[in-house]
Structure 1
């Protein structure tokens, strides 16, 4: 059956029809649609134009049988204590959007099953590969990932990355950037309000790496720093800040690495008699929107969830094509200065004339 214009009806369009219309071999159309082989941009655009014009829709079941691919990847989400759901969803949205651009769907799996969940996914043949979030330094899932014949990419870093593919923000360097900024403004006594206690107890990599980066940078810049876990919510934040300032009243710079604590920190400090940034400067490692909507606007190192998600999917797609990618991809931190940080006032100097 054909249309009045002489083209096959959309429901009857085959890959051979697309090939004839584009003036290429059927195998070239297959390679363009599957991404299994590099095709020139000109040819690719011509094929895709024919696909759109003819209304070709490859049958997912037949395609999977032919390629032995499910065209689905799994994303293991860390929906557990200490993890901020809005931030996790930023990563998930980036993964889903990028996967669709590669003609893949995403199966969402929670991390509570541990290694057993990965075994179940691998045995099911439902997915072609897996993305793993919230990676611990000594993650019990990592040895299994090395043994499974299932391509994987980790969003985060275990202590040993050998034989793995990992991508994340360089949290060690991010901690260092925050300290360098505050030290450059003359602050000599700093504090890190880190992730909740549960996150450190699990050995989650990003929290430990940030804390190590803060401590090493403090030594480098000759400043003092105290590091504390920080719980969620106004009550926990007030308790933590009250104890911190009672014990260390000379703290004039705070580094915050708990997205849920950012707002309460900025609200609690004035209630404790500390103005931001006149008395205490605050810098955070958090998503950009947390910083931009704070009052005052927050100096921060943004967590690039969208970029990490995109790169994780791209690395996984490369592995599915048989490519060998880097073991470690670290995104460099970028500090954005806003209104929450300022130079330490010089005591005893007045502007009065």
Structure 2
């Protein structure tokens, strides 16, 4: 195992200089720091985590609060978590994964234990009970999600309101005037989960502007629940020609049911989805979709939280928007509030087409 003394000899500096580079306790010239960091990389030196924590009063651990709920699509959450873990390692941090639905108590546990230097919170609700504690804590924190009031918080997320507007615009341009949204499970809306609520806000806003009628129906995602949801949509709005699906588990059952009913996609009905790219492309009909940028969200969350810990301000300079605005490359004027909303990108595939003759107006 490579020792600190060996790194010092390789870099031509003292052992204390290497220690200062690792701990950040003293200012070291950029030339010397680069020389030490190059020696660390070349020799494959890994400082003892326990000793480093004792010396610096830091754990070099980021706590990732990722409540696992049965109504959430776990693969997307796992993809975000993997991006957080791999990016954290690139910055010299390990990740403590907290999957319990502990709410404020989970934040208290992280802050009170001293096990983590910073927090990243997922599954953010519009009126999230964890946020007062996050605001009060001196521990750096970043949210992957956007609450109703982001004041004093750092957040990164897909711009779900813009996503809702985008899918409605696409279907409206194809002549669809009756659209139904197959949404997440009812519990997601009951908790006022941010991404689901904001998507519907965008859908309703743009639909109202374009004269499109919208019906929203939550769905548990199973074959049986999708069958019931589709039957309700057909019964309540028989003129529906466009479907927007924001529920990954429901996509397969929906396409299967439409096929059984003899309704061709997109000739009889168009389907657009908000889902991971691989989900959209692996269906029986490749779906027009807005992808969930899970990796990008996880990576940016780590960059933002490590920038907070090191006092680096704007992180890697990717830019941010003001609270409630899309990421537009301009830094927010409030140093305590930072919101980065990733712009949605819609990819048109085989599942959407012109509204059937006689339905457009």
Which residue matches 2:271? 282
Contact 2:124 2:144 in 1 (8 A): yes
- Aligned partner of residue 113 in structure 1, secondary structure: coil
- Give deviations 1:233-291, integer Å, cap 9, x for gaps: 11100110011012211111111001111111111112223211111100111111100
Which residue matches 2:142? 153
Matches within 5 A, 1:161-310: 161-310=150-299
Which residue matches 1:312? 301
Q: Hey, what's the Cα distance between the residues in 2 that align with 1:252 and 1:165?
A: 40
Choose 1 or 2 for highest CA Rg. Answer: 1
- Residue 340 in structure 1 maps to residue 351 in structure 2: yes
Inter-CA distance 187–26: structure 2 relative to 1 (3 Å threshold): farther
- Deviation, 1:111, is 4.0
| Unaligned residue ranges in structure 2 (runs of 5+) | 315-336
Which residue matches 2:319? none
- Deviation, 1:18, is 2.2
- Aligned partner of residue 188 in structure 2, secondary structure: helix
Which residue matches 1:6? none
Deviates more, 1:208-217 or 1:63-72: 63-72
Q: Hey, what's the Cα distance between the residues in 2 that align with 1:236 and 1:269?
A: 14
Q: Hey, what's the Cα distance between the residues in 2 that align with 1:341 and 1:272?
A: 18
Contact 2:241 2:356 in 1 (8 A): no
- Residue 56 in structure 1 maps to residue 45 in structure 2: yes
Q: Hey, what's the Cα distance between the residues in 1 that align with 2:299 and 2:278?
A: 19
Inter-CA distance 272–53: structure 2 relative to 1 (3 Å threshold): same
Count matched residues: 336
Contact 1:31 1:39 in 2 (8 A): no
- Aligned partner of residue 231 in structure 1, secondary structure: coil
Inter-CA distance 55–241: structure 2 relative to 1 (3 Å threshold): closer
Which residue matches 1:7? none
Which of 98, 117, 120 pairs up with 1:128?
Answer: 117
| Unaligned residue ranges in structure 1 (runs of 5+) | 1-9, 349-353
- Aligned partner of residue 312 in structure 1, secondary structure: helix
Q: Hey, what's the Cα distance between the residues in 1 that align with 2:177 and 2:44?
A: 65
Which residue matches 2:317? none
- Aligned partner of residue 346 in structure 2, secondary structure: coil
- Deviation, 1:63, is 1.1
Contact 1:131 1:155 in 2 (8 A): yes
Which residue matches 1:112? 101
- Residue 82 in structure 1 maps to residue 71 in structure 2: yes
- Aligned partner of residue 154 in structure 1, secondary structure: strand
- Residue 327 in structure 1 maps to residue 338 in structure 2: yes
Contact 2:23 2:52 in 1 (8 A): no
Q: Hey, what's the Cα distance between the residues in 2 that align with 1:274 and 1:335?
A: 24
Q: Hey, what's the Cα distance between the residues in 2 that align with 1:288 and 1:267?
A: 19
Superposition RMSD in Å: 2.2
- Deviation, 1:347, is 4.4
Contact 1:81 1:198 in 2 (8 A): no
Q: Hey, what's the Cα distance between the residues in 1 that align with 2:299 and 2:153?
A: 18
Deviates more, 1:279-288 or 1:77-86: 77-86
Q: Hey, what's the Cα distance between the residues in 2 that align with 1:271 and 1:35?
A: 64
- Deviation, 1:229, is 0.9
Inter-CA distance 20–80: structure 2 relative to 1 (3 Å threshold): same
- Give deviations 1:302-329, integer Å, cap 9, x for gaps: 0100000000011110111134455211
Contact 2:172 2:210 in 1 (8 A): yes
